[in-house]
Amino acid sequence: MLTERHLQIFVALAEEQHFGDAARVVGITQPPLSQGLRRLEALIGAKLFERGASGVELTPAGAALLPYARRALSSLEDFHQAAVARDPEGPEIRLGLAPEVPPSAGAAVAKAAGEVIPGSRVTVVSAPTTTLVNQVNTGRLTLAVVQHPTVLDGLEAGPVSLLPTWVLIPTDTPVNGDVVALRQLKGLPFAVRSRAEAPAARDLFVDTLALHRPDGGTVVVTDERAGLAMAAAGQAIVVTADPALTAPGVTKHRLAGDPLPLRLRLVWSKTRTPFLRPNDVMIQLTEALAS
């Protein structure tokens, strides 16, 4: 069956004349683009491109069909816009937030998402970064705030926002001052989430810990509340970007040099969010995240 993605691949490759560049335009990697082209050529029974020394060129059949593909994509875009405009309840913006996103930052992004599309309905879910990336890719979410770095699988992404963090330390831990260095925090493990939730971000966190603090290790917790409870019990140290997170039995300190900031970015699918264009919409949402 001929799909919108087939037409996007055809038009992008005709305009870019290069498989890698066309893949970036469509928002996928090169192997799926090549597979999509082969399926399209099989569907229509004609070869659309010839490979040359400097890239690819349209065949006579491809040149003849290109105007039709462009018109079809334009009609589909008009359809998307009309569907959004005629929705009596307004478009639904499904926003995903990684558990590490502080409540104030998540609220700012949700507020901005509702304001940039008048009449829109914003629904919010929380899930690990790997889950959020998959759900944005499959269209279950409109956009998401995820930990950085992470494998984006062809998604669009805003700039990385670095949120300052604090360490929550058991009160009987001997430290002096409001600012401490990682190397001072000896003995107790740092609370971390499961690596499966955000592998690249977790590895960066653990590698930074090992660089500044070679002893102590880590302990896996299910969420910040569990980490906070362990800190209060004198069994772990917690790093958090939530300024409101505290409890009896812990003290809050800044880390010298801020070596463990929370790195977040906004991600979305270019091909699945027609009503969230142009880019200034995403800029506004990204600014909300950093505010």
CATH of span 165-260: 3.40.190.10
Q: Per-residue pLDDT tens for 48-96?
A: 999 877 778 899 999 999 999 988 888 877 676 665 555 555 678 889 9
Q: Does domain 4-86 have CATH number 3.40.50.720?
A: no
Query: What percentage of the chain exceeds 90 in pLDDT?
Result: 44
Cβ atoms of 8 and 73 within 8 Å: the answer is yes
pLDDT computed for residue 281 by the predictor: 61
Q: Which of 43-52, 93-102, 258-267 has the lowest mean pLDDT?
A: 43-52
Q: Per-residue pLDDT tens for 146-192?
A: 999 999 878 888 889 899 999 999 998 888 788 999 988 888 999 99
Cβ atoms of 140 and 261 within 8 Å: the answer is no
Q: Which of 242, 147, 124 is nearest to 193 (CA)?
A: 147
Mean pLDDT value across the chain: 86
pLDDT computed for residue 278 by the predictor: 41
pLDDT computed for residue 96 by the predictor: 94
Q: Per-residue pLDDT tens for 27-46?
A: 778 888 888 899 999 988 99
> For the domain 92-161+264-290, what is the CATH superfamily, name and number?
Periplasmic binding protein-like II (3.40.190.10)
Domain residue ranges in the chain: 4-86, 92-161+264-290, 165-260
165-260 and 4-86 share a CATH fold: no
Q: Which of 154-163, 188-197, 227-236, 244-253 has the lowest mean pLDDT?
A: 154-163
Rounded to two decimals, the pTM is 0.69
pLDDT computed for residue 120 by the predictor: 77
